[in-house]
Amino acid sequence: NAGVMQNPRHLVRRRGQEARLRCSPMKGHSHVYWYRQLPEEGLKFMVYLQKENIIDESGMPKERFSAEFPKEGPSILRIQQVVRGDSAAYFCASSPSAAPGEKLFFGSGTQLSVL
């Protein structure tokens, strides 16, 4: 059973371009979470999705950021018109249920660098 797969591992974009980060959850997992990690700041929650639905997007910036988790295919975190401050590691996690004691399984992350 493959783990959570994120691609690309490294993504370089120039200011103003779009960044698309992909996350394939573990087989049988229908809950996906996106986190952003900056040095010395830990992991900041961004958005929680369940198949075709956004459950909680309280951590997402109001502009330029969007996320989806379609019925078929991976979850996508999309950042439009990137700025240097978007440079960070973005992690995706998945779980099989929404139970509060449920363990999250993490991918290896996508390192976004904005030039």
Summarize as ranges the residues that interact with another protein (CB under 8 A). 4, 33, 35, 40-45, 48, 55-56, 59, 91, 93, 98-101, 103-104, 106-109
Smallest gap from Cβ 3 to another protein, in A, equals 8
Residue showing tokens 């910036």: 61
Smallest gap from Cβ 22 to another protein, in A, equals 15
The CA distance from 80 to 103, in Å, is: 31
Contacts of 68 (CB under 8 A, 6+ apart): 49, 75, 76, 78
Smallest gap from Cβ 92 to another protein, in A, equals 9
CB 50 within 8 A of CB 98: yes
Nearer to another protein by Cβ, of 14 and 103: the residue is: 103
